[in-house]
Amino acid sequence: NASNINCTVPDTQCEYGCVNQSGSEIAEMGKYNDSIRLFAVNRGPSKVPVPESPNSGWQLAGENGGKFSAACWFFGRDLYNKVTPSRPFGLIESDVGGTPDQHWSSPDALSKCKNLNKSWEWADNFTDSVLWNNMIVPLTRNTIKGAIWYQGKRRESVHTEILIDYLAFCRRS
């Protein structure tokens, strides 16, 4: 496991012991079967945009045995518990630990990070949107009301530019 972003709830998958009392946390997920559904985007790169994500579909919260991003689950569960009146939630997991943010960037975002005379800018021939193509493009046909972004500290100076472009894209879609 290269990153804690895709650390699922079970402690056994994460070398840092990600979740305290993971067994009880997993058992508690079933209490949300009537209100929270989970969807995991098929992981992997693609050189071309993929319109549909092959996956197992929406799951009940208690069906997957904790095999879902702990960061996504806890954020979504806690938000669900605070929203009034209560309403159904769908949580979408789209992550690959240890990946550079440019893989998650649209070609348009990548083009904005070139020829800026900055130490972090990308070379003109860098056009690698492989995770954007396979793990974000298929989501653009959905209505998404909110998103969380968790990014490590590597190449911190460029994260803001990418996130601004990503949010603008989401609002247009």
Question: Which residue type occupies 42?
Answer: N
Question: ∠ CA 49-55-56 to the nearest 5 degrees?
Answer: 165
| CA separation for the pair 27, 10 (Å, rounded) | 11
pLDDT at 4: 46
Pairing type for strands 59-60 and 36-40 reads: antiparallel
Is residue 144 exposed (0-12), middle (13-18) or buried (19+ Cβ within 10 Å)?
exposed
Per-residue pLDDT of the chain (173 residues; tens, 9 = 90+): 344 444 554 444 454 446 667 778 888 899 999 999 999 898 899 999 998 887 778 999 988 888 888 888 889 999 999 999 999 999 999 888 778 778 888 888 888 777 777 766 677 777 789 999 999 999 888 888 888 877 665 555 556 666 676 667 666 65
Count CA atoms within 13 Å of residue 38 on its CB side: 26
pLDDT at 90: 93
